[in-house]
Structure 1
Amino acid sequence: MNKKSNPKAIFLIGSAGAGKSTVGKFLATKLHYCYLDKDIIANRFTGELLISRGYQPTARDECEYYKKQVMDIEYKTLLDIASENLKLNNSVILDAPFLSYFSDKDYISKIIQQFNFSNVDTYVLEVFVPAEILKQRILDRNNPRDIWKLDNWDQFIEGINQKKCLWQNVTYIRFDNSATQIPEFTLLKNFE
């Protein structure tokens, strides 16, 4: 009997509008990985928590309550679900910005320990596009959560440019998602 390879955990990072979800769903379909989108997992309870405190259900960027009380719960929920799948030897794609955690060089090591990602091959796939494409995609998707980003565009872009992922002990891949179609071979070869 052949030894089965380690499951993979792909941390899919990048700005809102860069196409993380498109890339993540593409990879999940082609590789038969479990696709875990933080927004899908958490938006319902996050919206209810924000409403219960008098905020709009879409408040994120400008909301200190979200940043200090809710955001970590969202990420821990995402990582708990990922951990359960990895224990079953199911590779996972974690689609979330993770921006607030970029400066912690040991973030991946902490995740591996805290969420028991043992015997897991860990990747970071950063999806990016130039600012002018990013703005057009954000305008096209017309998401209420993007109002602050568009109203404060220069500040939003400056924040993205300042936040570089410093995580160590992980295979790091950058993917320019500017093309209208995902170059299948170029992307998939990274996870063979």
Structure 2
Amino acid sequence: MARQHPDWNPELLRKHREQIGLTLEDTGEKLREIAERHGFNIAANFQTIWGHEKGSVYPGPHYRRAYCRLYRCNEAQLGFRRALPGEDAPVESATAQLPAPRAQAPDEQPQAVRQALSSIRSGTDDVDSEALRNRVVDAWRRRTSGVTDGPTVVLVGGFAGSGKSEFAKFLGSLTGWPILDKDSLTRPLVDQLLIALGGEAHDRSSDLYREKVRPLEYRCLMEAAWDNVDCGISTILDAPFVSEFSQADWMQRFQNRCRSKRVSVATIWVECDPESMREYIEFRGAARDAWKMEAWDEYLSSLNLDLRPQGPHFVVDNRLGAAVALVDEARDVLSGGGL
């Protein structure tokens, strides 16, 4: 059954387009340029844009992100969703004109980076979110100047579709630290191992996967991380980490091992709402997600949406895609910001 979007106000898209004097064809061209720059998967022809403005077709996640970059607004200001607490979303907000390419002020890029990282907040009292943001910004500055520092390990976890991979990639693009994505590292082997054990290649919900395969999958991920750390290379790990973050003893062992190697640690949990997670999962269309989509209510009931890592950690609030929107904005500024 199709999901409803009771807070959607499609009329705002047309208002924004008309106030800056764009035709449907012009809008499609600019959206395609944005899509190419950000790697969005959209076609953006005028019929599709017309459908979005008339309210007959709700824009998918990449379309919404492209519209936000085009009109320099967040999703709430464009009428796609309700505003999160603290978000400014006036109904009549519209840009007077498209910003022309211009020379950037010397501090504009650092400000954009810090704004994108502002969604990282302390999840426990014994971590300092400002210190982590400073560490990432410093790594970004050092990467461009060629200066190196001691290694850092960043664990980015969250439920499927939470936006953790998008946020991990942003951290990697800023710092130059390699990203170890669990699925990219292990999926071909995991699929074949499941078949060899009598299961199905894309199964991620059975006892067979959880008891026989998953432990090996995460062991491969962590061993690859230690190889980097032993070479003094900071590393970002991208995986759900649901079981690991739920275990205080696992978290403590990891912290102890990093401390013994003089490695700093940042554990990040990416928070997201169920509807947004479902949309992201549906959009990517991965075979391993088939069961989740077929039995969404059952899958959702198995998640502890209040889960937080059992130890020092940070939280990124990506409910309704808010953190990813800030990432898109920072990428635009870092790339020059011209449309």
Pairwise CA distance, 1:78: 0.6
For the pair shown, the structure with the greater C-alpha radius of gyration is 2
Q: Percent identity?
A: 29
What secondary structure sits across from 1:160 in the alignment? Answer: coil
Other-structure match for 1:15: 159
Alpha carbons 1:102, 1:163 under 8 Å: kept: no
Is it true that 1:94 corresponds to 2:243 in the alignment?
no
Aligned pair partner of 2:301 in 158, 167, 173:
158
Pairwise CA distance, 1:152: 2.2
Q: Which amino acid aligns with 2:229?
A: L
Other-structure match for 2:15: none
Q: In the aligned structure 2, how far is the partner of 1:84 from the partner of 1:123?
A: 18
Moved more, 100-109 or 71-80: 100-109
Deviations 1:24-55 (A, max 9, x none): 11111111111000101111111111111222
Pairwise CA distance, 1:103: 2.6
Aligned pair partner of 2:195 in 51, 58, 81:
51
How does 1:43-192 map onto structure 2 within 5 Å? 43-61=187-205, 63-113=206-256, 118-161=261-304, 164-168=307-311, 170=312, 172-177=313-318, 178-179=321-322, 181-183=325-327
Pairwise CA distance, 1:119: 1.0
Other-structure match for 1:188: none
Deviations 1:42-77 (A, max 9, x none): 11111111111222211111x211111111111111
Pairwise CA distance, 1:166: 3.8
Q: TM-score, normalised by structure 1?
A: 0.84
Q: In the aligned structure 2, how far is the partner of 1:81 from the partner of 1:116?
A: 18
Query: Which has the larger strand fraction?
Result: 1
Contiguous gaps of at least 5 residues in structure 1:
186-192
Deviations 1:143-179 (A, max 9, x none): 11112112222232232225623422x3x11112213
Q: In the aligned structure 1, how far is the partner of 2:209 from the partner of 2:258?
A: 23
Moved more, 142-151 or 28-37: 142-151
Pairwise CA distance, 1:114: 6.0
Alpha carbons 1:83, 1:115 under 8 Å: kept: no
Ranked by relative contact order (alpha carbons within 8 Å, sequence separation 6 or more), the top structure is: 1
- Matched residue count: 180
What secondary structure sits across from 1:10 in the alignment? Answer: strand
